[in-house]
A = this chain, B = another copy of it.
């Protein structure tokens, strides 16, 4: 992000780092493009005006950043920022510590940024050892989606709710959450945008699926919420009316059983957490659900900080144990590092559309 108002993304040659005693060097073989990566990758740049120059092997992408957005980006001007939240690969070099040596030659999953690279040096204790028969592609998305889905269920429980609502529910993350809820016996209300996504989730055993495309969406959502007793929701969309509509339907469901009119609405607390920004436009809340409500941001890293390392480790171990079942991810495209910077690729994954999930293989 240049002070002049231009975003530049390119591949940089860097020396392969030497692991310290407690570190390992991982050859990255698979790293996904998550919505959470796109924020750092593109920032507030206007990607409709992006341009790619350079060679096919060394593309250089530039895009203008609207002036008013530059202010919010003040902290990252004229800095080179490595990208990539998570990935998987093989440990090719290890420091002298036993924990590091134990991982030599093993497949591991890792989280911590800068994964869009051929090699990543990282502390041994930050690695999650993968089963021997797991492929790097299977292990590439061990953290962000699985821990986010588990974090939603954990947050639901710790804040005293017994069922939950999820939007963009046909996403990789949404399908994962559906599998967790089916396995753990938690009622989940899935909100999707299209009938084919309703069908997809139903095939995967989802009981409650509502499509915003339906002319009676609000009535159907209220019905599902009344049936499940959901009073907490997690919204990946962020912009527009949906987050507020969830609160509206929760209130309508609660008032079905109200014995008398209260001008202040139900006293049951209703909560929606916004954890993504698939829609970057403003959130619009029509406040027709009384006073016992909350909306707020939800971020995996803040959640992990809050529950502490021991509880986080328990979650990570569950992910490794159920890697090929509950926490399986699916990719529509596999590309090289240079391939991720091609305009045709960006045009697809930049849409953040359900079903279009990219995996980068830096070895290609």
Contact = CB atoms under 8 A, between A and B. Distances in A.
Interface in A270-299: 274-275, 277, 282-288, 290-299
Q: How many copies does the complex hold?
A: 2
Contact of A263 (B40, B258, B282, B292): B40
A262 interface: yes
A74 to B, nearest CB: 8
A1 B277 CA distance: 41
A58 interface: no
Nearest to A251: B72
A321 to B, nearest CB: 29
Given A75-B262, A294-B295, A297-B293, A238 B283 contact: no
Contacts of A263: 39-40, 76
Contacts of A299: 264, 290-292
A349 to B, nearest CB: 18
Interface in A286-332: 286-288, 290-299, 301-302, 305
A79 interface: yes
Interface string A201-239: 000000000000000000000000000000000000011
A133 to B, nearest CB: 35
> Which of A74, A267, A295: most chain B Cβ within 10 A?
A295
Contacts of A305: 267
Given A39-B263, A263-B40, A264-B301, A72 B295 contact: no
A291 B298 contact: yes
Contacts of A261: 73, 75-76, 79, 81
A290 B286 contact: no
B267 A287 contact: no
A159 interface: no
Contacts of A73: 261
A294 B277 CA distance: 16
B293 A282 contact: no
Nearest to A261: B75
Interface in A252-268: 255, 258, 260-264, 267
Contacts of A72: 288
Nearest to A113: B263
Contacts of A74: 255
A298 B75 CA distance: 34
Contact of A258 (B75, B264, B287, B301): B75
A50 to B, nearest CB: 19
A225 to B, nearest CB: 16
A276 to B, nearest CB: 10
Contacts of A283: 244, 283-285, 287
A222 to B, nearest CB: 11
Interface string A339-358: 00000000000000000000
19 contacts: A39-B263, A40-B263, A72-B288, A74-B255, A75-B255, A239-B287, A244-B282, A264-B299, A267-B305, A274-B287, A277-B287, A282-B286, A282-B287, A283-B284, A285-B285, A291-B297, A291-B298, A294-B295, A295-B296
Given A39-B263, A275-B291, 7 more contacts: A72-B288, A76-B261, A244-B283, A264-B302, A283-B284, A287-B297, A294-B297
Q: In the A-B complex, list the 10 residue pairs whose CB atoms are closest, starting with the nearest.
A: A75-B261, A291-B297, A294-B296, A291-B299, A76-B261, A283-B285, A40-B263, A282-B286, A293-B297, A282-B284
